[in-house]
Amino acid sequence: MTLRSRDAQLVQIVDAAVAEASRRSGTWLHCAPGCTQCCVGVFAISQLDAARLRAGLAELETADPGRAAAVRRRAEDSAARLSAELPAGVRVDRFEEIPAELLEDFGNEEACPALDPATGLCDLYAARPITCRVFGLPLRVDGGLGVCELCFRGASPEEIAACELQTGADALEAELTEEAEKAGGQPGHTIVAWALIPGAHP
């Protein structure tokens, strides 16, 4: 079984868990098409996410070359702007190399290149990173439960806990990420913009 087919299984597991947690969340969850707050600001993605995004962009190239070209242009422009914020010699594609003192403000106003500014929709929605898939729902972080600031307003800690997302896929994701790093010859994390730049990858 190929890495891509196994990744498809991972996505299926995660999406099923998200659907169940969303059902439990009911009206507490306000995520909807056109809500783009979580699409603004730079965040780290795995090499597995990056490979999935590139495959999604290749499919979009076949289905809608114009939209694909727009995504690529936005990615190149975004990577150029972000690179300009970094000290000389630090590459934006190597997220771990970005100085810690810069991370708090780094790229906070930068929209994801996959986001269509005209529609407020993701042009690579089916291929989006795992982080994007699970965002908004209660997730275990640093010993507590984190949620999107737009969701679960007025909910009690108990009500939030009852909606916690648990995919059970962490081990599979880690395994596939390691395989993706070996296959691409690039360890660690990157960003969406860099993942989508033509010719920047093996």
Query: Mean pLDDT in runs of 10 for the chain (202 residues)?
Result: 96 98 94 89 95 97 97 96 87 84 87 96 97 94 85 93 95 97 92 86 53
CA distance 111 to 124: 14
Q: Which pairing describes strands 121-122 and 139-141: parallel, antiparallel, or unpaired?
A: unpaired
What pLDDT is attached to residue 11?
A: 98
CA distance 115 to 125: 9
Q: Where are the alpha helices (DSSP H) in 64-117?
A: 65-84, 100-103
Write 97-106 long-range contacts (CB < 8 A, 24+). 106/42, 106/82
Over its C-alpha atoms, the chain yields an Rg (Å, rounded) of 17
CA distance 139 to 147: 7
What pLDDT is attached to residue 198?
A: 74
Q: Where are the alpha helices (DSSP H) in 26-140?
A: 47-63, 65-84, 100-103, 130-134
CA distance 125 to 1: 24
What pLDDT is attached to residue 175?
A: 97
What pLDDT is attached to residue 201?
A: 56
Burial class of 198 by CB neighbour count within 10 A (0 to 12, 13 to 18, 19+): exposed
* Contact (Cβ atoms closer than 8 angstroms) between residue 39 and residue 112: yes
What pLDDT is attached to residue 117?
A: 94
Q: Tell me how far apart the terminal alpha carbons of the chain are, to the nearest angstrom.
A: 21
Q: What is the pTM of this model?
A: 0.92
What pLDDT is attached to residue 200?
A: 60
